[in-house]
Chains A and B, each alone.
Chain A
Amino acid sequence: MKKLISMLLALILITGLLTGCGGTNTGPVENGKAEPSTELNIYMWQQYISDDLIAKFEEENNAKVNLSYMSDNADAITKLTAGGGQEYDLIMTCDAYMESLIDGGYIEKINFENIPNASNINESYWTAKEYCVPYLMNYIYVVYNKDTCPIEINGYNDLIDPALKGQIATIDGARNLFPIALIALGYDPNSTNESEIAEAYEWLVKYNENVVAYGNAEQNLTNGTASVAFTYDGNASWAMSELGDKNNLVIADFESDPVQLGFDLYVVPKGAKHVDLAEKFLNYITDPQVMAANLVEYPYSCPNDAAVEAASDAYKNDPARDFDYKENVFFQKDVGEAITIYNDYYQKLKVGE
């Protein structure tokens, strides 16, 4: 008898284990006066928001903020499209994916009545305005060491100069690399034409010859492994301040080629459980003073004009943002089915045929 009981108990334990993963709904009551949420789940890049500001938000709203981190933009898209979106209240993604996320019905419209601070954000590049709140933005440009780089760089075509063999530290990703090749060849950076993409692949094969490493551009610049970097302005800023007085990095003076501008933005996934707190958070982070404080720690380009105005002098005078072609930009757009063509060529490029 004792054994029977213990067996039963074990069975209960196991079923408990299996069902334990099921959803526990701690969300607000559906109708009537809803209780304010006390928990906010955010999925975003690591090292991208000030811990102090999060702590302050938690204190002000008597809530707990759970940050989870992605390692790739694709992770966020997988979370949103593979049905894991409801676990989060805010997910960070970038402008390039907005169209397909809206078309697929994966994200909620945002009620901007509850986010008055959003008016601080510069509207000129704010696409899909009803569905997202831009956080920070990135220029992807070329920066080089004026002492060790053997040539002067004025456009993307200079990057395939054989003189730069094994000298470039570059960001990775098909949709970051192919556009510069397409521009260098005089095509649309978001081309969906296979023969153009194939030509861009040939261009990138030459580029790849000059690449010393994908990723870690800022470290490879400061430790001398690379003399040129194709990277985000935020990373260049880090490298320049790391070198301090010895800074010999200059931003390439591009004559006509446009540079990529990308936005990291917050979206509310369909079925998010703590929308009220998510809105409070969005209003908090768009507050000029809060964002200005955030920029001290994370000196990236920011679409929040009032925050830039309120930012420190060090931020305003950052040499990494001192270039005169900020208006000459292009955006990553959804390329639809053509993404498979890009991926095939990208894989071929990385394997090295």
Chain B
Amino acid sequence: MKKNKFKQNTLPALAMAGPVSLWMILFVTLPMLYIIYISFMSRGIFGDVVYEFSLDSYKTLLDSTYFKVIVKSMKAAFITTLLCILIGYPFAYYIAKQPKEVASKLIMLVMIPFWTNSLMRLNSWLLLFQTSGPVNNFLQNAGFIDSPISFVYTDGLVMIGMITNMLPFAVLPMYSSIEKLSKSLLEASADLGASRSTTFFNITLPLTFPGIFSSIILVFIPSLGIYTVTDMLGGGKVLYIGNIIKNQFGAIRNWPLGAALSVLLIVITGLLIFIYTRFAKIEDMEVV
């Protein structure tokens, strides 16, 4: 009898969840444990990892240098998220209100940039805005400016790069949330004499909040760890925590410190997700 039960319950579950679990254990859990492990090791003279227990890396994290970078990255990720939501929500709202076939085309427009390699997209920003680039040439020829403005390698351009990279992550969950909103609720609100803005703030916004929250998580977390955008558009002068981690594993070759920074990033991310699951019910977590 017992055997039968195994066949009926365990085997299908194993067959379905097994491969994914194995994949996750091999390629997510184990590397993560390894990262945590080497964060407690020390750095050898050649930049190799010496397997001796040490808390040096975590002590270094308390150094004001790293604290500053973390604060700076959080700030940048926060601004990116805020702007993505502010730009993305009206856009998602607009798409959701369109007829189905128009909406799918508009969603496509959001997706198209994703088919282009992100390095290409970043490079094109550089080409557009460089000193002798089309934007500067246009402004000069039109007589708006006398000498070229240096757009490239500034915090501003990095921010533009971050927002364009992240916007689809913000739009899609909010779109699906707004789209699911039952029309009858809005009609009822209108029937009862509520103005459009009252309906929006009392019905639409609260009911689509889970979508907004998903967008916040989906934008904030990758923005916090991103390093390609800052590397390319910031000219190596704008550094976020992702760049520092990359440098520690690359040029500087202090793997334990890089690992400790990664652990810190994982902890911050974990905290955010914890707050999220507390705040919004887990079944609301919609990722399109």
Q: Within residues 213 to 237 of chain B, which ones have a CB less than 8 A from any CB in chain A? A: 235-237
- Asked if A14 meets B236 with Cβ closer than 8 Å, knowing A74-B253, A224-B132, the reply is no
* CB neighbours of B148 from chain A (8 A): 224
Please measure, in the bound complex, the distance between the C-alpha atom of A280 and the C-alpha atom of B250, giving whole angstroms.
Answer: 32
Q: How far is the CB of B260 from chain A (nearest CB, A)?
A: 14
* CB neighbours of A126 from chain B (8 A): none
Size category of the B interface is: 20 to 34
Tell yes or no: B184 within 8 A of A by CB: no
Please measure, in the bound complex, the distance between the C-alpha atom of A340 and the C-alpha atom of B254, giving whole angstroms.
Answer: 9
* CB neighbours of B253 from chain A (8 A): 74, 77-78
Q: List 26 A-B contacts (CB under 8 A).
A: A74-B47, A74-B252, A74-B253, A77-B47, A81-B48, A100-B45, A166-B150, A174-B251, A211-B237, A212-B153, A212-B235, A212-B237, A213-B153, A214-B235, A215-B235, A223-B131, A224-B130, A224-B131, A224-B132, A225-B152, A339-B45, A343-B252, A343-B254, A347-B247, A353-B64, A353-B68
Please measure, in the bound complex, the distance between the C-alpha atom of A11 and the C-alpha atom of B46, giving whole angstroms.
Answer: 40
Inter-subunit contact A348/B46 (CB<8 Å): no
* CB neighbours of A352 from chain B (8 A): 239
Please measure, in the bound complex, the distance between the C-alpha atom of A75 and the C-alpha atom of B255, giving whole angstroms.
Answer: 12
* CB neighbours of B203 from chain A (8 A): none
* CB neighbours of B236 from chain A (8 A): 172, 213-215, 350
With A337-B45, A351-B66 already in contact, 14 other A-B pairs whose C-beta atoms are closer than 8 Å: A3-B7, A71-B250, A74-B253, A75-B250, A81-B48, A100-B46, A166-B150, A172-B251, A173-B251, A211-B237, A212-B237, A213-B152, A347-B244, A351-B239
Tell yes or no: B69 within 8 A of A by CB: yes
Inter-subunit contact B11/A3 (CB<8 Å): yes
Please measure, in the bound complex, the distance between the C-alpha atom of A174 and the C-alpha atom of B46, giving whole angstroms.
Answer: 15
* CB neighbours of B251 from chain A (8 A): 72, 74, 172-174
Inter-subunit contact A72/B47 (CB<8 Å): no
Q: Within residues 314 to 342 of chain A, which ones have a CB less than 8 A from any CB in chain B? A: 336-337, 339-340
Tell yes or no: B119 within 8 A of A by CB: no
B41-70: contact bitstring with A at CB < 8 Å (1 yes, 0 no)?
A: 001011111000000000000001110110
Inter-subunit contact A223/B46 (CB<8 Å): no
Chain A residues bordering chain B, tally (CB within 8 A): 38
A60-84: contact bitstring with B at CB < 8 Å (1 yes, 0 no)?
A: 0000000000011011011001100
Q: How far is the CB of B191 from chain A (nearest CB, A)?
A: 58
CB within 8 Å of B: which residues of A? 3, 14, 71-72, 74-75, 77-78, 81-82, 100, 104, 166, 172-174, 208, 211-216, 223-225, 336-337, 339-340, 343, 346-348, 350-353
Those 8 A-B pairs whose CB atoms lie nearest each other, nearest first: A213-B235, A214-B236, A224-B131, A213-B153, A81-B46, A224-B132, A225-B131, A343-B252
CB within 8 Å of A: which residues of B? 7, 11, 22, 43, 45-49, 64-66, 68-69, 130-133, 148, 150, 152-153, 235-237, 239, 244, 247, 250-254
Please measure, in the bound complex, the distance between the C-alpha atom of A166 and the C-alpha atom of B68, giving whole angstroms.
Answer: 23
- Asked if A353 meets B65 with Cβ closer than 8 Å, knowing A74-B251, A75-B250, the reply is yes
* CB neighbours of A75 from chain B (8 A): 250
Please measure, in the bound complex, the distance between the C-alpha atom of A98 and the C-alpha atom of B5, giving whole angstroms.
Answer: 65
Q: How far is the CB of A100 from chain B (nearest CB, A)?
A: 6
Pick from B69, B235, B237 the residue with the most CB of A within 10 Å.
Answer: B235
Find the B residue at minimum CB distance from A148: B131
* CB neighbours of B68 from chain A (8 A): 351, 353
Q: How far is the CB of B139 from chain A (nearest CB, A)?
A: 14
* CB neighbours of B47 from chain A (8 A): 74, 77-78, 81, 339
Checking B45, B69, B150, B153 against A351 with a beta-carbon cut-off of 8 angstroms, the contacting residue is B69
* CB neighbours of A173 from chain B (8 A): 251
Inter-subunit contact B239/A350 (CB<8 Å): yes
Checking B45, B150, B244, B247 against A212 with a beta-carbon cut-off of 8 angstroms, the contacting residue is B150
Q: How far is the CB of B159 from chain A (nearest CB, A)?
A: 17
Please measure, in the bound complex, the distance between the C-alpha atom of A168 and the C-alpha atom of B225, giving whole angstroms.
Answer: 28
Checking A215, A347, A351 against B252 with a beta-carbon cut-off of 8 angstroms, the contacting residue is A347
* CB neighbours of B239 from chain A (8 A): 350-352
Inter-subunit contact A347/B65 (CB<8 Å): yes
* CB neighbours of A78 from chain B (8 A): 47-48, 253
Please measure, in the bound complex, the distance between the C-alpha atom of A81 and the C-alpha atom of B236, giving whole angstroms.
Answer: 27
* CB neighbours of B132 from chain A (8 A): 223-224
Pick from B49, B68, B130, B237 the residue with the most CB of A within 10 Å.
Answer: B237
Find the A residue at minimum CB distance from B152: A225
Please measure, in the bound complex, the distance between the C-alpha atom of A104 and the C-alpha atom of B148, giving whole angstroms.
Answer: 52
Please measure, in the bound complex, the distance between the C-alpha atom of A212 and the C-alpha atom of B130, giving whole angstroms.
Answer: 12
Please measure, in the bound complex, the distance between the C-alpha atom of A343 and the C-alpha atom of B66, giving whole angstroms.
Answer: 13
- Asked if A223 meets B133 with Cβ closer than 8 Å, knowing A77-B47, A100-B46, A348-B65, the reply is yes
Q: How far is the CB of A143 from chain B (nearest CB, A)?
A: 17
Please measure, in the bound complex, the distance between the C-alpha atom of A173 and the C-alpha atom of B236, giving whole angstroms.
Answer: 11
- Asked if A72 meets B65 with Cβ closer than 8 Å, knowing A212-B235, A223-B131, A351-B239, the reply is no
* CB neighbours of B250 from chain A (8 A): 71-72, 74-75
Please measure, in the bound complex, the distance between the C-alpha atom of A232 and the C-alpha atom of B68, giving whole angstroms.
Answer: 32
Please measure, in the bound complex, the distance between the C-alpha atom of A72 and the C-alpha atom of B236, giving whole angstroms.
Answer: 15
Inter-subunit contact A223/B22 (CB<8 Å): no
* CB neighbours of A82 from chain B (8 A): 48-49
Please measure, in the bound complex, the distance between the C-alpha atom of A3 and the C-alpha atom of B45, giving whole angstroms.
Answer: 54
Inter-subunit contact A216/B150 (CB<8 Å): no
Q: How far is the CB of B122 from chain A (nearest CB, A)?
A: 12
Inter-subunit contact B252/A346 (CB<8 Å): yes
